[in-house]
Amino acid sequence: MNVIWSDRANTDLRQIFERREELSPESATRLVDAITTRTHQLAAFPDSGRMMPEFENRYLRELIEGDYRIIYERFPDRVEIVSVAHGKQSFLSPD
C-alpha cells in the first residue's frame, strides 16, 4: 500500500525540524528520521495505528512517536499522512 504525505504533513514536519534545530541540529535530524521511519509500517499494516480518541472514525488514525502524533487517513488503496502534531495539541474545537 502506498503511503503519501500531504502538503500539510510535510509542512508540519519541516516546522518541527526547524524548531528543534535551534536547540540541536543532530536532535532535529534524529526526530524527523524517527517520525518518518515510524510511518513505514503503514505500507504493510495500515490499521496498526489507533483510532484517534477525538473522533469516531475508524479510518482516521494515529501513530505515536515520542511526543508527536502522526495523523493519517486510511483509504482502500493508500494511506495519507494528514498531519504531524505535538501530543498536547487538541484537534477538537473549544466550546
C-alpha cell at 74: 486510511
Q: How far apart (Å, rounded) are the C-alpha atoms in residues 44 and 15?
A: 28
pLDDT at residue 94 tops 60: no
pLDDT > 70: what percent of the chain?
94
The pLDDT assigned to 89 comes to 76
Domains (range + CATH), the chain: 2-86 (3.30.2310.20)
Q: How far apart (Å, rounded) are the C-alpha atoms in residues 5 and 95?
A: 31
Q: 40-67, pLDDT tens digit by residue?
A: 999 999 999 999 988 888 899 999 999 9
Does the pTM exceed 0.85? yes
pLDDT at residue 93 tops 70: no
